[in-house]
Amino acid sequence: MNISQLEGFMYTAQTGSITAGAKKAFISQPAMTKLIQDLEKELGTPLFDRVGRGIQINAKGRTFLNYVEATLQQLNQGIDAVSSPVSTRQRPIRLLVEVASALIPEIITQIHQIFPAAPVQLTQRISTVNDTENFDFTISTRQPATNLRSLPLLTEEILVGSLEPVFQTSVITPAELASHALVTLGRQTPLRRTMDAYFKSQRVPVDYQYESDDPASIRALLLHGIGIGFIPAITWHATGSQLHLTRLNPNPPLRTIYLTEGQSNETPQNRRLANALVKLFVDTRAQSL
């Protein structure tokens, strides 16, 4: 068994295709087929099931893949550790945070604890869900692509907030909000899309007087007493705790935030970071308004 065999198996498992795996390994398809066959013969067990003219990794193959990915990752780290200083620079961690921007400092802290030498490339908006594959980690309310690992971090209610009390009760209907000027994020932002869909479902038109693409600007406007805005109960806790809050009923608006990994292979470090981000959001849930 050699490194080329392990890499060839990993590429084939990650792509789900001998042809694609061979292309990634820069070898021919027949060579990759023989490599996989030799590896299975040496292990004494098939790693893939043959389905028609294609292949599908089986349970033993998935188990072996976890060890192979971890082994090759450690090997590459060892090579970096003894190479020249220029080559030891880690590649950037590509992070997309479309929602929960108030938690970005804590998210970056978690990244640096696990990848202390890695630069971080932070993006806060993309055009399509398919673009999430260009990032190592995505935090978003977009429904994750089915071919990527993802999990829900939390589901939170969207409240109505203002610096001064505007409503006489703690619960209002969407129709009662329609006559008030609102402070809101831009049309292409996740929170705005959530609220637009909510009011459309309630058949209630609303008046957006102030708009900004920057969540921090919206929070600052609300804290300066300008308008009425929408406050996610968990991720905007720090802002909401300084405002008068009102619930929308019936059927209050909700949103679910997902963590998605953009890479098909999960390294031990990526797994640690994913677990740390999950814990961060679990801890944040305890502060719900």
* Of residues 156, 96, 101, 151, the one with CA closest to residue 274: 151
CATH of the domain at 242: 3.40.190.290
- Residue burial 24-54, b: 16+ Cβ < 10 Å; e: rest: bbebeeeebbebbeebbeeeeeebbeeeeee
Confidence of residue 86 (pLDDT cuts 50, 70, 90): very low
For residue 97, give every residue at least 6 positions away whose Cβ sits within 8 Å of its Cβ, in sequence order, or none.
103, 104, 107, 122, 123, 124, 138, 139, 140
Pair (167, 50) in one structural domain: no
Regarding predicted confidence, which is higher, 263 or 30?
A: 30
Task: Please say which residue of 86, 105, 136 terminates a domain.
Answer: 86
Pair (105, 80) in one structural domain: no
In whole angstroms, what separates CA 267 from the centre of its chain?
A: 16
What is the C-alpha separation between 63 and 177, in angstroms, rounded? 54
DSSP codes joined into one string, 207-258: EEEEEES-HHHHHHHHHTT-SEEEEETTTTHHHHTTSEEEEE-SS--EEEEE
Tens-place pLDDT, residues 111-130: 988 888 889 999 987 655 55
- Amino acid at the residue 197: A
Token digits for 184?
A: 């809101």
Is pLDDT above 60 for 252?
Answer: yes
What does the mean pLDDT of the chain come to? 87
What is the C-alpha separation between 105 and 11, in angstroms, rounded? 35
* Of residues 213, 103, 94, 218, the one with CA closest to residue 156: 103
Pair (109, 159) in one structural domain: yes
Pair (179, 55) in one structural domain: no
In whole angstroms, what separates CA 73 from the centre of its chain?
A: 22
Task: Say which range, 44-58, 67-81, 172-186, has the weakest mean pLDDT.
Answer: 67-81
Confidence of residue 81 (pLDDT cuts 50, 70, 90): low
Tens-place pLDDT, residues 12-53: 988 888 988 888 888 889 999 999 999 999 999 999 998 887
Neighbours of 167 (CB within 10 A): 16
Domain span at residue 52 reads 3-86
Task: Say which range, 32-36, 172-176, 229-233, 268-272, has the weakest mean pLDDT.
Answer: 268-272
Pair (43, 60) in one structural domain: yes
What is the C-alpha separation between 191 and 157, in angstroms, rounded? 11
What is the C-alpha separation between 114 and 274, in angstroms, rounded? 10
- Amino acid at the residue 282: V
Task: Please say which residue of 60, 86, 112 terminates a domain.
Answer: 86
* Of residues 239, 254, 259, the one with CA closest to residue 155: 254
Mean pLDDT in residue range 252-277: 85
Pair (18, 144) in one structural domain: no
212 — alpha (psi -120 to 50), left (phi > 0) or beta? Answer: beta
Confidence of residue 88 (pLDDT cuts 50, 70, 90): very low
Pair (63, 185) in one structural domain: no
pLDDT score for 196: 94
Q: What Cα–Cα distance (Å) separates residue 218 from each residue in 4, 102, 151, 265?
A: 53, 12, 28, 38
- Residue burial 250-267, b: 16+ Cβ < 10 Å; e: rest: eeebebebbbbbbeebbb
Pair (195, 58) in one structural domain: no
pLDDT score for 232: 95
Neighbours of 86 (CB within 10 A): 6
Pair (118, 132) in one structural domain: yes
* pTM summary value: 0.66
Pair (32, 111) in one structural domain: no
Pair (131, 22) in one structural domain: no
Mean pLDDT in residue range 183-210: 91
Is pLDDT above 80 for 102?
Answer: yes
Task: Please say which residue of 64, 86, 108 terminates a domain.
Answer: 86
Confidence of residue 140 (pLDDT cuts 50, 70, 90): very high
Pair (190, 269) in one structural domain: yes
Q: How many domains is the chain partitioned into structurally? A: 2
SS3 78: helix
